[in-house]
């Protein structure tokens, strides 16, 4: 089983739609969680951290469920510019905080 698993998609949604992605992780000792965004032929960039209590940044909401070992990302009122690949990242401490990336979920927002 891969350490971090995501549905690759693509998720194809119209502008204005709400879309949600899930990500599961296998290591219960994982401590930090992030969502990154990667545009085509670009490097991954941090979208938002995921906190235990859940957190929101504008149209984006991230949640963590430690008991079930998954994190989620909700995007409301999708924009064309949200089209990208969203990477789930889990960091596990074994003395070092090493980020492990999921394969990513592709989102396509169409007019």
| Shortest spacing between CB 47 and another protein, in angstroms | 10
Nearest distance from C-beta of residue 92 to another protein, angstroms: 10
Q: How far is CA 8 from CA 29, 30, 33, 69, 97, in A?
A: 25, 22, 19, 18, 25
65 lies in the site for another protein, by CB under 8 A: no
Candidates 64, 104, 107, 109; binder of another protein (CB under 8 A) is 104
Site string for another protein, 44-63 (x = CB under 8 A): xxx--x--------------
5: how many CB neighbours lie within 10 A of its CB? Answer: 16
Distance CA 37, CA 45 (A): 5
Percent of residues in the chain assigned helix, strand, coil, to nearest 5: 5, 60, 40
**CB of 22 vs another protein, minimal distance in Å:** 17
Binding site for another protein (CB under 8 A): 31-32, 34, 42-46, 49, 87, 89, 91, 93, 96-104
């Amino acid at each position: 089983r891969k350490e971090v698993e995501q549905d690759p998609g693509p998720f194809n949604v119209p502008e204005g739609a709400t879309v949600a992605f899930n990500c599961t992780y296998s290591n219960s000792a994982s401590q930090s969680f992030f969502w990154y965004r990667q545009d085509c032929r670009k490097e991954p960039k941090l979208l938002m951290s995921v906190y235990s209590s859940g957190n929101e940044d504008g149209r984006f909401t991230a949640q963590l469920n430690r008991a079930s070992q998954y994190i989620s990302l909700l995007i409301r009122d999708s924009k064309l510019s949200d089209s990208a690949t969203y990477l789930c990242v889990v960091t596990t401490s074994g003395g070092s905080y090493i980020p492990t990336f999921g394969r990513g979920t592709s989102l396509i927002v169409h007019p």
